[in-house]
Amino acid sequence: MFAMRTVSSIYLVRVKGVNELDVIEELNHPASISDALTFSQGQQAVAMVQHEETKIHFKVKLNKDLRNEVLKETIEMDPQ
């Protein structure tokens, strides 16, 4: 798995085979993706933080099941 940044987005991509890539997540707003996070029993996860206007989105996904979020939170900030 790797992250790829373009001018407008960040893509989280998984290598499925020799000639096959799978785009797991596309982040269009300012965002950051963590290194691998280690959990118990040898499990690993990846965290993503994304800033969208007055909201901050936080997601954690396990490496074994990247389609589903283990944790998904949104924080609404007060505009000042």
Q: Could you tell me if 75 and 58 are in contact, meaning their C-beta atoms sit under 8 angstroms apart?
A: yes
Structure tokens at 66: 């990247």
The residue segments making up the domain with residue 71 are: 2-76
Give 25's strand partners.
12
Residue 62 identity: L
Cβ neighbour number for residue 64 with a 10 Å cutoff: 9
Q: How far is CA 25 from the centre of its chain?
A: 6
Q: What is the pTM of this model?
A: 0.75
pLDDT in tens, the chain (80 residues): 888 999 889 998 888 888 999 898 898 888 888 888 887 788 888 889 999 889 999 999 888 777 788 899 999 998 77
